[in-house]
Amino acid sequence: MFNALIVEKDDDGNTHAGVKQIGLDDLPHADVTVAVEYSTVNYKDGLCLGPGGGLVRHYPHVPGIDFAGTVEQSDDDRYKPGDKVVLTGWRVGEAHWGGYSQKARVKADWLVPLPEGLDTRQAMAVGTAGFTAMLAVMALEDHGLQPGHGPVLVTGAAGGVGSVATAILAHLGHEVAAVTGRPEQEAYLRDLGASRIVPRADLAETVKRPLESEEWTGCVDAVGGAMLARVLGQMKYGASVAAVGLAGGAALPATVVPFLLRGVNLLGIDSVMQPYDNRLRAWQRIARDLPMDKLEAMVQPATLSDLPGLGEDILKGQVRGRVVVDVNA
């Protein structure tokens, strides 16, 4: 028997999350059984833990959209007992049981080997948020982003994706302008490498003009909505925005003018269904280009029993940086 955070729904449609003991026979049927060491808290986890269960399809359910640990048993030749592995995406934690458990059973196709230079705790300090941030940086680079060409904007900079993106971009030599609605986070963001702090209010409303002064050579946007629309009109000629989130809303009250007159690119970043080769590329870049001291500064430790409260906090935008969940604590 081992511990897992189980979300259940009662006859009235209300969900309840709590730590319970389950056995191997309770786990889904799949190729690889992993002894989970660490997981994290992401916005999707907050939705799955919250009222109504958000993205969950069936109950009872184990959330946790990512985890890192050690293979215990494998029916697939790619993995053997003792291998260190990482999982992000593939709707694990939503449609499939996830990482908020001391053991997980998943398809081999969903795993990647833990990259050299990272341990399992560091991998989950990165987690889905950091993996997404690196995918965004790589997409911007693939579309011409280079250090020294001007400031790169990061919206929602104190959140998980934004924190890692800020640290990576600064480490690569970019001038980073960090957007936040929490003035108390300025010292934290500057420690990550931000050279400029942009108050959220400066970008929170759309303007009638479809184009403003060219200011940003790139952008990692975790907010969407009116802020993304505003940022599109401020991008330099040929610059790109990597869209990674919708904390500010899914609607985009924008015009096509920035795309037509300035050749701006809007790049959609999906971390869930990324092909295996690009996953490996991103994790290798993380091991190389994310300063571990900066990563550690983002970390808030947690246990399984802390998760219901943290799920509420992340939905309210009250979680800074990265939460690392020690499922065995």
Q: What is the CATH number of the domain that holds 162?
A: 3.40.50.720
Residue 27 CB-half CA count within 13 A: 24
Same domain assignment for residues 74 and 139: no
73 within a domain of the structure (yes/no): yes
Distance CA 204, CA 231 (A): 10
Same domain assignment for residues 211 and 185: yes
222 within a domain of the structure (yes/no): yes
119 within a domain of the structure (yes/no): no
Q: Mind listing the pLDDT tens digit of every residue in the chain (329 residues)? A: 999 999 998 888 888 999 999 999 999 999 999 999 999 999 899 999 987 667 898 999 999 999 999 999 999 999 999 999 999 999 999 999 999 999 999 999 999 999 999 999 999 999 999 999 999 999 999 999 999 999 999 999 999 999 999 999 999 999 999 999 999 999 999 999 999 999 999 998 878 899 999 999 999 999 999 999 999 999 999 999 999 999 889 999 999 999 999 999 999 999 999 999 999 999 999 999 999 999 999 999 999 999 999 999 998 888 989 999 999 99
**What CATH number is associated with residue 17?**
3.90.180.10
274 within a domain of the structure (yes/no): no
Per the structure, the complete domain to which residue 217 belongs is given by 127-268
pLDDT reported for residue 13: 82
pLDDT reported for residue 97: 98
User: Which residues 6+ apart lie within 8 Å of 134 measured at CB?
Assistant: 164, 168, 282, 283, 285, 286, 289, 290
pLDDT reported for residue 305: 97
Same domain assignment for residues 30 and 71: yes
Same domain assignment for residues 136 and 171: yes
Distance CA 140, CA 88 (A): 21
- Helix 276-289 vs helix 120-142: crossing angle, to nearest 10: 110
Distance CA 130, CA 80 (A): 27
Same domain assignment for residues 108 and 169: no
By DSSP bridging, strand 322-326 and strand 299-302 are: parallel
Number of domains into which the chain is organized: 2
Same domain assignment for residues 31 and 82: yes
Same domain assignment for residues 14 and 55: yes
Same domain assignment for residues 230 and 189: yes
Strand ranges in the chain using DSSP code E only, listed in sequence order: 2-9, 15-22, 32-40, 66-74, 84-88, 103-106, 111-113, 152-154, 176-180, 196-199, 216-221, 235-243, 265-268, 299-302, 322-326
Strand ranges in 140-273 using DSSP code E only, listed in sequence order: 152-154, 176-180, 196-199, 216-221, 235-243, 265-268
273 within a domain of the structure (yes/no): no
Q: Strand pairing partners for 21?
A: 3
Same domain assignment for residues 135 and 227: yes
Nearest to 79 by CA among 135, 117, 35: 35
319 within a domain of the structure (yes/no): yes
Distance CA 252, CA 117 (A): 39
Distance CA 108, CA 287 (A): 22
255 within a domain of the structure (yes/no): yes
pTM over 0.85: yes
pLDDT reported for residue 205: 82
DSSP, collapsed to helix, strand or coil, labels residue 124 as: helix
Same domain assignment for residues 65 and 146: no
- Backbone φ and ψ for 2, nearest 5 degrees, come out as -150, 165
Contact 285, 134 (CB under 8 A): yes
pLDDT reported for residue 247: 87
Nearest to 16 by CA among 70, 44, 56, 43: 56
Pull the structure tokens for residue 6: 């189980």
> What is the DSSP-derived secondary structure letter of residue 94?
T
Same domain assignment for residues 38 and 164: no
Its sign, for the CA torsion 114, 120, 123, 128, is positive
Same domain assignment for residues 28 and 79: yes
- Helix 160-171 vs helix 120-142: crossing angle, to nearest 10: 70
106 within a domain of the structure (yes/no): yes
